[in-house]
Amino acid sequence: MREVAEDVVRPRFCMLGADDIAEKSPGEIVTCVDHEAEIRLQDRLAGLGLGARIVGEEAASRDPRLLDDLDRGLVWLIDPLDGTANFAAGRRPFGMMVALVADGTVQEGWLLDPLSGRLCHARRGQGATCDRLPVRAAGTGLFPPRATLGTQFLSAGRRARVLEGARALAVVPIPRCAAESYARLVLGEDDIALYQRILPWDHAAGVLFLEEAGGRATHWDGSPFRIGSPGVGVLAAASPALWDIAAAALLTPATGLARMENAVL
């Protein structure tokens, strides 16, 4: 990941031309860096010889069949450039994420900030580290808790109800980068994060990092996060106590989040 960041990502930051950016779906862009970084990461991961399938975000956008049976066998998940819109606009944050999944359970995950070089890592059952030093999530210590709410994909009515429920929280702008969002939860910058979209490469490494650091992340119905789960959304917090506060504010009949169906996403 560090090699690809140094060779592919960092040199193109604030250096993209119009031809380097395209729209891969309405409102969602992709850059030449996404594609090149993913190819380089695929090659290096394949060279590790684990015999795992490799599923990258950009490959899956071209062939959604790659998402079939992600909860079976050994799978590498790659997000080659998380926060692409930020990167394309020449602003931070953005990141790179890789996770190793076995039968739907994330076993190991890495989140790299290509600019600072900060590397967050977790291995199931063995804790979490940041730049090789053990870390434990403790929250900001502020009250009301700081919360980032990814409501941009909700309908206007449901978004309004969620924001009404969030009046018990100190809502701050989302970083528009899951790699940064999960790092902030563990490193004491944010307390709570709500996500609607749960593309597997966006959350696999981050959820494991948060949980191994002592935080809690679940689907909106309270079920454990798992690759291939039918669960909707993710509510994440720096501690179980903060998760309870967030759930009391956000996962209520008034907001309707806990009973949303997959078809809504």
Position 141 in a domain: no
Closest CA to 196 of 238, 244, 148, 228: 148
153 and 110 share a domain?
no
Position 23 in a domain: yes
Closest CA to 155 of 144, 165, 163, 167: 163
Q: Into how many domains does the chain fold?
A: 2
pLDDT band at 25 (very low <50, low <70, confident <90, very high): confident
86 and 63 share a domain?
yes
Which residues fall within 8 angstroms of residue 157, CB to CB, at 6 or more apart?
A: none
**Residue 62 to residues 55, 149, 150, 153, 165, Cα–Cα distance (Å):** 11, 29, 25, 22, 38
Point out the domain boundary residue: 68, 101, 134.
134
184 and 258 share a domain?
yes
For 35-69, the pLDDT digits (tens) are 999 999 999 999 999 999 999 999 999 999 999 99
For 61-93, the pLDDT digits (tens) are 999 999 999 999 999 999 999 999 999 999 999
Question: Which of the residue ranges 77-86, 169-178, 206-215, 247-256 would you say has the lowest mean pLDDT?
Answer: 247-256
**264, pLDDT greater than 50:** no
**265, pLDDT greater than 50:** no
Question: One-letter amino acid identity for 130?
Answer: C
Position 139 in a domain: no
pLDDT band at 30 (very low <50, low <70, confident <90, very high): very high
164 and 248 share a domain?
yes
Supply the CATH number for residue 215's domain. 3.40.190.80
Mean pLDDT taken over the chain = 94
Closest CA to 145 of 175, 185, 180: 185
Position 140 in a domain: no
**Does the reported pTM lie above 0.85?**
yes
Q: Containing domain of residue 233, as a range?
A: 146-264
8 and 43 share a domain?
yes
Position 27 in a domain: yes
Position 123 in a domain: yes
111 and 87 share a domain?
yes
159 and 233 share a domain?
yes
114 and 156 share a domain?
no
- Mean pLDDT value across residues 163-180: 96
Point out the domain boundary residue: 134, 158, 189.
134
Supply the CATH number for residue 118's domain. 3.30.540.10
154 and 255 share a domain?
yes
118 and 152 share a domain?
no
Point out the domain boundary residue: 89, 114, 134.
134
Pairing of strands 146-149, 170-171: parallel
116 and 186 share a domain?
no
28 and 151 share a domain?
no
pLDDT band at 26 (very low <50, low <70, confident <90, very high): confident
